[in-house]
A = this chain, B = another copy of it.
Amino acid sequence: MGFIIFVKINFMNWYQKEIKLEARRRGFHIITSEVVNQIPEIKKIKKGILHIFIKHTSASLIINENISPDVRSDMEKHFNKMVPENMTYYDHNSEGPDDMPAHIKTSVLGNSLTIPITDGDLNLGTWQGIYLCEHRNNGGSRKLVFTIFGEE
């Protein structure tokens, strides 16, 4: 007696973890290595997505140039001009002059990233790095949620 069962399954895996980044000064900071070191699980994923979410409304996440420190300091200078402190029309000032601009910058830049995973690595371009953008003078530690999903 014999029989065969065919089952076509694409194995799908989900990993999720919350981490705390150490407090950083106001400005734009590269955190690519710190992120990658926290998620060895991506090595198992053949095709998938890394989702990074920051659980705050005064710090943001972007992908930008990963070599020149001038790009990060020029970003800080430009966003301070584009979203100035102490505008007379701000009513939300209870936590200081950096409070409302931090909320605005966060929504201009965004609070999540989605990055393709290919053959166990983040599929970033040669010049792309992950930035934490700290918009408060004393933002403290920041919480990130990583969600990794894909096909093994």
Report which A residues bind B (CB closer than 8 A). 5, 7-16, 18, 46-49, 51, 53-57, 62-65, 68, 70-71, 73-75, 77-78, 81-83, 87, 89-92, 94, 100, 103-104, 106-116, 118, 123-128, 143, 145, 147, 149-151
Contacts and interface: CB of A to CB of B under 8 A. Distances in A.
A74 B100 contact: yes
A14 B150 contact: yes
Contact of A107 (B8, B48, B100, B109): B109
Nearest to A15: B47
Contact of A53 (B9, B92, B123, B151): B123
Contact of A14 (B70, B106, B151): B151
Contact of A55 (B89, B125, B145): B125
